[in-house]
Structure 1
Amino acid sequence: MDRLVKRKDFLAAAGGLRANSGPLLLQAHDRADDGAARIGLTVTKKHGNAVERNRIRRRLREAVRAALPRVARPGFDYVIVARRAALSTRFTDLVNDIERGIARLHSGNRRRHPPARPQPAAASAAVQATAHADGETAHDD
């Protein structure tokens, strides 16, 4: 099992395919090569202290070792974003969730995650809000 270690690889996967599967969010990116599948694990700080996050990571690593050889495609990068429920889910269910999630990613009905739209400037938003509150429309004179 090869690992993702560079931020750009995680970002590429985040912009690719997505699928929810139980206590996990799976993301995938096609590298368009024949190399081995790579995996990245993410557990955010909002899901507990360091001990709990590391326990979730250890469980996910073992579940991925069991599931990835059966369902992963060569040339893909996978990122698994764990939720807190991954800590209390039965191990067999965790393996099944990973397999089901990867199968959903490759099923063909998953769309790419749309890129984030730039937010309007705070000043122009305040002006628009004031104009709409007064019942006026903005005109360029």
Structure 2
Amino acid sequence: LERRTGVSVNLIFEVEGEPGFRQRESQLLAETAANVAQVIATGGGVVLAARNRAILSERGFVLYLPASVDAQLARLARDTRRPLLRAPDRLERLNAMAALRNPLYESTADLILTPQSGSVSRAADRAIHALEQTWQRPARAA
């Protein structure tokens, strides 16, 4: 989104607010999902819009990699680029976001790989196996 607009997510939030950002995010998802055979790593809030969840479900294989709020807090300790985390109490904000987003991701996901799923290589093997069971490789041009 930053590459497309030429401005930072922070600036989009400052000028257009979260609704403007979400609209741009939805448009980019729809355009990107129209292509085939690619991996799309979304932002955490993409699942908030029912339209986005439908696009993800219809056009792809949704792999959800949940992280605990404590793990997120540790990862984001020095991150100042996320507008939604500019709050006096980041833990409270992350808990509220998780309460809203996690059920949406869980209901949209084709596969959920939790930290308890075993090693990274086993998790990757599970993801590859699940993809092979559901994904059809596009035909190559002659």
Answer 1 or 2: higher relative contact order, Cα 8 Å, separation at least 6: 1
Per the normalisation by structure 2, the TM-score is: 0.29
Q: Which has the higher strand share?
A: 1
TM-score, L = length of structure 1 = 0.29
Larger Rg: 1
